[in-house]
């Protein structure tokens, strides 16, 4: 009887250790599954080579599990990392899917940044920013609902403490001044290098105002140069909406085109045109068009210089 009890104890111990009563390894399904769950996976970007490598990797751990041996786990995987630094959440507002995709991948490539949300327009941004509470908002001002200045004003009115970086095609002094005055903490060109855009994001997160070297150089040229490179001082008398319409006229857009772009009525745009002509001292629509075209050409030449 004592021998039987002793044998039973050995059997129970053997069962718990994963070996049979005779000392040979015995398969234990729950133990193997446990090992498979914790199998460290080889790192790769995918592809057929990765699939074959991963298959061989898992099979080797299956063999170890079946033999009752725990798979080898590297030291860095056994010990959980101490305190993982928090990544700053960046919210992207852009109407173009390919631009959002590119900006998202750029931000995700940075160890200290992450994308916490996206929106295709102002209204969608307003609905989502409050939910995700980003650390910074990146805005491309070419949105259907309005100009970059109006977009910045809308976001800052709701969340005054959220910094905004404007990534734009405009780099003339007057536009940059108005964007910053509206509440943006920085402005960079869309064609800037990826390093410059990441630098702008980090500087603004640190509480600094950032304007890229290219824009700063253009502003200094405007300030120091005279003659044709100096923007007409009278443009400063225009409101943000009037200046936006003036620039659209310089792009040869019709009243209907502008109304559709800004989601305004044709009558509202026509009224703005009359206000612009009066403020600039222009006699008629032809004079307005000529002035808008000249100013557009000067801005283009300045940006290339």
Domain spanning 88-220: which CATH class is it, in words? alpha beta
Residues of the chain with CATH 3.40.50.2300: 88-220
Tens of pLDDT, residues 154-186 = 899 999 999 999 998 776 677 788 888 889 999
The pLDDT-based confidence of 121 (bands split at 50, 70, 90) is confident
Residues 206 and 185 sit within 8 Å (Cβ to Cβ): no
Phi, psi (degrees; rounded to nearest 5) at 74: -55, 155
Structure tokens at 147: 């100009």
Residues 209 and 165 sit within 8 Å (Cβ to Cβ): no
H helix intervals, the chain = 2-17, 29-37, 48-66, 75-78, 97-108, 122-132, 148-158, 173-182, 194-205, 213-224, 240-250, 255-262, 266-280, 285-304
Q: What is the model's pLDDT at position 54?
A: 46
Residues 134 and 205 sit within 8 Å (Cβ to Cβ): no
Q: What is the model's pLDDT at position 76?
A: 42
pTM for the predicted model, two decimal places: 0.58
Q: What is the model's pLDDT at position 132?
A: 94
Residues of the chain with CATH 1.10.10.10: 230-304
Domain spanning 230-304: which CATH class is it, in words? mainly alpha
């Amino acid at each position: 009887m004592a021998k039987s009890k002793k044998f039973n104890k050995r059997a129970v111990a053997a069962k718990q250790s994963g070996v049979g009563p005779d000392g040979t390894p015995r398969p234990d399904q729950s133990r193997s599954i446990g090992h498979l769950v914790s199998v460290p996976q080889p790192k790769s970007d995918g592809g057929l080579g990765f699939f074959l490598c991963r298959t061989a990797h898992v099979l080797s751990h299956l063999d170890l599990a079946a033999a009752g041996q725990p798979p080898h786990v590297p030291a860095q995987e056994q010990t959980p990392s101490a305190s993982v630094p928090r990544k700053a959440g960046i919210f992207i507002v852009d109407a173009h899917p390919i631009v959002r995709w590119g900006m998202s991948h750029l931000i995700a490539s940075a160890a200290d940044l992450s994308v916490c949300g996206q929106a295709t327009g102002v209204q969608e941004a307003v609905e989502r920013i409050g939910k995700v509470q980003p650390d910074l908002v990146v805005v491309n001002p070419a949105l259907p609902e309005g100009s970059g200045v109006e977009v910045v004003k809308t976001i800052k009115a709701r969340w005054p403490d959220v910094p905004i970086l404007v990534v734009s095609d405009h780099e003339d002094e007057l536009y940059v001044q108005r964007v910053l005055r509206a509440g943006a903490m920085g402005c960079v060109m869309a064609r800037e290098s990826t390093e410059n855009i990441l630098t702008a994001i980090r500087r603004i997160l640190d509480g600094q105002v950032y304007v890229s070297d290219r824009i700063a150089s253009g502003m200094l040229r405007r300030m120091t140069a005279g003659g044709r490179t100096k923007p007409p001082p009278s443009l400063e008398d225009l409101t943000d909406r009037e200046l936006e319409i003036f620039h659209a006229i310089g792009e040869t857009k019709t009243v209907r085109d502008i109304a559709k772009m800004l989601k305004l009525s044709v009558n509202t745009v026509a009224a703005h045109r009359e206000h612009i002509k009066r403020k600039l001292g222009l006699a008629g629509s032809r004079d307005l068009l000529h002035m808008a075209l000249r100013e557009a050409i000067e801005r283009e030449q300045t940006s290339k210089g």
